[in-house]
Each structure stands twice: as C-alpha cells, then as structure tokens.
Homo-oligomer: A and B are copies of this chain.
Amino acid sequence: MGASTSTGQRTQRAQRADARRNVEAILDAATRGLRRDPNVSIADIAAEAGVGRITLYGHFKTRADLVEAVLARTIGHAHAVFDGLDLSGDPVEALATLVTSSWRVIEQHRGVLGAAARELGHERIRDVHDDILTRVGHLVERGQAEGVFRDDLPGSWLVTVILTLMHTAAQDVDAGRLAAADAGLYLVRTLVAALTPPGSIVPVR
C-alpha cells in the first residue's frame, strides 16, 4: 500500500476483503450445513455464516448458484489433494491412492454432491468435474499404455466408471446402505478389478 493510496481506495479494498471473508464464511457454512442436512435452508446457512440473508443473496442469487459454488470449491480441494499425491509409479497402486484420497474428499463433502445432484443435474455436475476427469484420464491412459489396465474399453468409459462409482458410494453412505468407513476399500477393490485386462489376474487388495 503506497503513500499515494487514497482513503477511497483503502475503503474499496476493505470492502472487497469483507466480501471475500463473507463468501468464504458462507461457503464454509453451506458445506457444513449440507453435510448435516442436504435440504438445509438458505436462512440456516446465512445464520451459521454470521451474515444476513440479503448479504448471502447478494453473492449467490439462487440456491443452485450457492450449491454450484460449494461444489466448485470442493473440486478445488480435490485438486489440492491430487497435487500432493505421487501417481507416477505402478498404475494399480496409483489408482488405489487416487481413489482412496478422492473418497476422503467426497466423504468430507458428502451432502454437497447430493444437493448438487438435485439442484444442478447430472450433466452440470459432470462439467464441473471436467478437470478432475482429465487428471483421472491421464492415469487411465498411462495404465493402458503400460498394459496394466484393460484397453479393450475406451479410457473415457473407464473414467466414467470411476467417477460414477465414487459418487454412488457417497449416495449409498447418505442413504445408510453403506458404512463410510467401508466405502474406500470397496471402491478400490471394485475399480482395480474393473480395470484389469481380460485374461489377467485381478490383483488382491
């Protein structure tokens, strides 16, 4: 902040900082609220964030806008987690690592997916996951090139299978059909087998 900064500029900057803090507080409150109750009201989210409903609606015009922003931030978290993973070794190990870590992110943000499924629809959810799908796609293609993953099915289909089953596990945990503690292992076992080339032995995990 230079000596020439006017009071007006400082005020603007302070307002922008306030707005950013409000948005973060709203997204935090929405993430917690959706996990507790996928039908949590906007009023409850605003109250938990310590902002008024008018402030909340100033940032997010509709519930769908808010859910999409929460989903986008969740996917940002997933990228941060992926950035910290070493996926360069054996593709089966890398897949297990990727699935286990992704499941943890999904589990921490469970209600977000359920709300997104209702508010945004399947195709919009897929669009928001585009960069994630690309990252998973790179691993699948490498595994196919190394002969460790099957290549009798297109990589794009195998990526869809991975994304779909992870989201299904989240729905099953939400519905009480699956224990959250079991889901990571079930996913790894199912996906490792699904990607094994025909004529090869399914790795034991």
Contacts and interface: CB of A to CB of B under 8 A. Distances in A.
Interface string A56-100: 000000000000000000000000000000000000000000000
Contacts of A153: 186, 189-190
Contacts of A175: 123, 126
Nearest to A191: B194
A8 interface: no
A123 B122 CA distance: 15
Contacts of A193: 150, 193-196, 198, 202
Given A193-B194, A194-B194, A196-B202, A156 B171 contact: no
Copies of this protein in the assembly total: 2
A145 interface: no
B190 A198 contact: no
Contacts of A123: 175
A121 B204 CA distance: 36
Interface string A3-40: 00000000000000000000000000000000000000
Interface of A: 117-118, 121-123, 126, 150, 152-153, 156-157, 160-161, 164-165, 168, 171-172, 175, 177-178, 186, 189-190, 193-205
12 contacts: A118-B121, A122-B171, A150-B202, A153-B189, A157-B172, A157-B178, A161-B168, A164-B168, A193-B195, A193-B198, A196-B202, A198-B203
